[in-house]
Amino acid sequence: MGGFLLVGLIVAVVASVANIFLGIPALSLAVSAAIVFIMSGFILYDTSRIINGGETNYIRATVSMYLNIYNLFTSILHLLGIFGSDD
């Protein structure tokens, strides 16, 4: 599962860099939605690694979980900001 999540994250990063130059609002929406799903998968994957003993460095595990939740939260805020505009 980790390999699929890493490839998905790389594709999302490349799409977001491409969106910097293209400026397509629909691409921004798609990238935010993809990051929500990818970070949800990373939360499940990292939690599984912590429980099953795959991650023994608890500081790195804590920082990884924090970053997953932070990225998930910012992507959800971005999606809500797009859908909540008064334009």
End-to-end CA distance of the chain: 40
- Amino acid 55: pLDDT: 81
| Segments making up each domain of the chain, as ranges | 2-83
Q: Taking phi first (over 0 means left), then psi (-120 to 50 degrees means alpha), and beta for anything else, what does residue 57 get?
A: beta
- Amino acid 85: pLDDT: 64
- Amino acid 15: pLDDT: 94
- Amino acid 86: pLDDT: 63
Indicate the DSSP class of residue 85: -
The tens place of each residue's pLDDT in the chain, 87 residues long, gives 889 999 999 999 999 999 999 988 889 999 999 999 999 999 999 999 889 988 888 899 999 999 999 999 999 999 888 776 665
Burial class (CB in 10 A: 0-12, 13-18, 19+), 8: middle
- Amino acid 30: pLDDT: 93
